[in-house]
Amino acid sequence: MVVDSCLDRESRQPIALKYLTELGIDVATSVKLFVITHWHDDHLKGAADILSACRDAKFVCSEALRSTEFIQFVRICSTRSFMVSSGVDEFDRIFEKLQRRSTGERPESVGPDLWAIADRRLLYLPKNNRSFNVEVFALSPSDTAMTLALSEIGQLLPRAGTPKRRAVAQRPNHVSVALWIIVGNLNILLGSDLENHRDKRLGWRAVVLSPNRPRGRAFVVKVPHHGSSNAYYHKMWSEMTTPEAAALLTPFASGKRPLPSQDDVEKIRSHTSQIYCTGRPQGWRPPRRDSTVDKTVREIARTRRVVHGPMGQVRLRLSAQRGLDDPTIELFGEAQHLT
Amino acid sequence: MKDSAACFAIEQPPEKPEYIVLRDIIPDREARYDRGSIDNKVISTEAPADLSPPVEPALLLPGPRKPLHRFKVLQTWEGTILEISGDECRAIIRDRTTPENQDEEITFSIEEIPESDRPLALPGAVFYWSIGYDDRLDGQRNRVSSIRVRRIPVWTDKELKAARREAESLGERIGWK
Instruction: Encode chain B (177 residues) as per-residue pLDDT tens digits.
Output: 444 445 455 444 444 444 444 444 444 444 444 443 444 444 445 555 565 665 566 666 776 677 778 899 999 999 999 899 999 999 999 999 999 998 899 999 999 999 999 999 998 899 999 999 999 888 899 999 999 999 988 889 998 999 899 899 988 888 877
* Beta carbons within 10 angstroms of residue A98's beta carbon: 21
* Chain B contact present for A98, CB below 8 A: yes
**Which residues does chain B have within 8 Å of residue A112's beta carbon, measured at their own beta carbons?**
175
Can you give the pLDDT at residue A4?
95
Sign of the torsion formed by the C-alpha atoms of A134, A140, A141 and A142? positive
Instruction: Work out the average pLDDT over A81-110.
Output: 74
Can you give the pLDDT at residue A105?
67
Q: Is B134 exposed, middle or buried (0-12, 13-18, 19+ CB in 10 A)?
A: middle
Give the type of residue at B16. Answer: K
Contact call for residues A319 and A127 (beta carbons, < 8 A): no
What's the gap in Å between the CA of A208 and the closest CA on chain B? 30
The answer to whether the CB atoms of A301 and B145 lie below 8 A apart is no
Q: Integer distance in angstroms from the first to the last C-alpha of chain A?
A: 30
The beta strands (E) that lie in chain A are given as 2-3, 33-36, 58-62, 114-116, 120-125, 134-138, 179-183, 186-190, 218-222, 241-249, 275-277, 301-306, 313-319, 323-332, 336-337
Identify which has the larger pLDDT, A171 or A266: A266
Query: Where would I find the H helices in B90-173?
Result: 157-173
The answer to whether the CB atoms of A163 and B120 lie below 8 A apart is yes
* Chain A contact present for B4, CB below 8 A: no
The answer to whether the CB atoms of B168 and A68 lie below 8 A apart is yes
Give the single-character DSSP code of A1: -
Q: pLDDT band for A260, please (50, 70, 90 cuts).
A: very high
**Residues found in chain A:** 339
**Which residues does chain A have within 8 Å of residue B103's beta carbon, measured at their own beta carbons?**
306-308
> Is the pLDDT at A252 greater than 90, yes or no?
no
**Which residues does chain B have within 8 Å of residue A293's beta carbon, measured at their own beta carbons?**
1, 74-75, 131
d(CA B30, CA B34): 6
Identify which has the larger pLDDT, A299 or A110: A299
Q: B78-115 burial by CB neighbour count: b if 16+ within 10 A, else e? A: ebbbbebeeeebbbbbebbbeeebebbbbbbeeebbee
Q: List B93's β-bridge partners, or say none.
A: B79, B104
Can you give the pLDDT at residue A151?
84
DSSP per residue, A49-97: HHHHH-TTPEEEEEGGGGSHHHHHHHHIIIIIS----HHHHHHHHHHHH
Can you give the pLDDT at residue B20?
43
d(CA A149, CA A64): 6
The answer to whether the CB atoms of A102 and B164 lie below 8 A apart is no
Residue B70's nearest CA partner among B7, B132, B158, B12 is: B7
The answer to whether the CB atoms of B104 and A306 lie below 8 A apart is yes
Residue B74's nearest CA partner among B21, B8, B173 is: B8
Instruction: Work out the average pLDDT over A7-25.
Output: 92
Give the type of residue at A15. Answer: I
* Chain A contact present for B31, CB below 8 A: no
The answer to whether the CB atoms of B163 and A75 lie below 8 A apart is yes
**Which residues does chain A have within 8 Å of residue B88's beta carbon, measured at their own beta carbons?**
302
**Which residues does chain B have within 8 Å of residue A289's beta carbon, measured at their own beta carbons?**
1, 75, 98
d(CA A207, CA A307): 31
* Chain A contact present for B111, CB below 8 A: no
The answer to whether the CB atoms of A163 and B153 lie below 8 A apart is yes
Q: What is the pLDDT of residues A117-150, one digit of tens each?
A: 999 999 999 987 778 899 999 999 999 999 888 8
Q: What is the pLDDT of residues A201-233, one digit of tens each?
A: 999 999 999 999 999 999 999 999 999 999 999
Q: What is the pLDDT of residues A264-310, one digit of tens each?
A: 999 999 999 999 999 877 778 899 999 999 999 999 999 998 888 88
* Chain B contact present for A121, CB below 8 A: no
The answer to whether the CB atoms of A166 and B126 lie below 8 A apart is yes
Q: B63-77 burial by CB neighbour count: b if 16+ within 10 A, else e? A: eeeebbbbbebbbbb
Most B-contacting residue of A7, A259, A290 (CB-CB within 10 A), to test interface:
A290
What are the angstrom distances between the C-alpha of B22 and each of A100, B34, B56, B78? 69, 20, 10, 46
Q: Is B127 exposed, middle or buried (0-12, 13-18, 19+ CB in 10 A)?
A: buried
- Measured between CB atoms, which of B105, B106, B174 is closest to A99? B174
d(CA A332, CA A127): 32
Q: pLDDT band for A91, please (50, 70, 90 cuts).
A: confident
What are the angstrom distances between the C-alpha of A243 and each of A217, A270, A271, B99? 9, 10, 6, 47
SS3 A259: strand
Contact call for residues A149 and A69 (beta carbons, < 8 A): no
Can you give the pLDDT at residue A174?
79
> Is the pLDDT at A322 greater than 80, yes or no?
no
The answer to whether the CB atoms of A300 and B160 lie below 8 A apart is no
**Which residues does chain A have within 8 Å of residue B156's beta carbon, measured at their own beta carbons?**
160
Identify which has the larger pLDDT, B123 or A255: B123
Q: List A336's β-bridge partners, or say none.
A: A277
Among all residues of chain A, which has the CA nearest to that of B142? A292
The answer to whether the CB atoms of A166 and B124 lie below 8 A apart is yes
Residue A56's nearest CA partner among A32, A26, A25, A21 is: A32
Planar angle of CA B164, B170, B173, nearest 5 degrees = 150
**Which residues does chain B have within 8 Å of residue A80's beta carbon, measured at their own beta carbons?**
159, 163
A204 φ/ψ angles, rounded to the nearest 5 degrees: -65, -30
Can you give the pLDDT at residue A119?
95
**Please, which residues 240-269 of chain A have a Cβ atom closer than 8 Å to chain B?**
253-256
Can you give the pLDDT at residue B50?
60
> Is the pLDDT at A156 greater than 70, yes or no?
yes
Average pLDDT for chain A: 88
Contact call for residues A183 and A218 (beta carbons, < 8 A): no
What's the gap in Å between the CA of B145 and the closest CA on chain A? 7
What are the angstrom distances between the C-alpha of B91 and each of A82, A203, B88? 19, 28, 10
Can you give the pLDDT at residue B115?
95
- Measured between CB atoms, which of B123, B155, B173 is closest to A164? B155
Q: Which of A97-101, A325-329, B5-9, B105-109 has the highest mean pLDDT?
A: B105-109
Q: pLDDT band for A90, please (50, 70, 90 cuts).
A: confident
Domain ranges (residues) in chain B = 13-62
Instruction: Work out the average pLDDT over A66-78.
Output: 84
The interaxial angle of helices A68-75 and B157-173, nearest 10 deg, is: 120
* Chain A contact present for B163, CB below 8 A: yes
Q: Is B45 exposed, middle or buried (0-12, 13-18, 19+ CB in 10 A)?
A: exposed
d(CA A280, CA B114): 36
Contact call for residues A280 and B87 (beta carbons, < 8 A): no
**Which residues does chain B have within 8 Å of residue A165's beta carbon, measured at their own beta carbons?**
122-126, 152
Q: Which of A138-142, A239-243, A255-259, A264-268 has the lowest mean pLDDT?
A: A255-259
Give the single-character DSSP code of A155: H
**Which residues does chain B have within 8 Å of residue A62's beta carbon, measured at their own beta carbons?**
none
The answer to whether the CB atoms of B152 and A160 lie below 8 A apart is no
- Measured between CB atoms, which of B104, B120, B123 is closest to A307? B104
Can you give the pLDDT at residue A157?
86
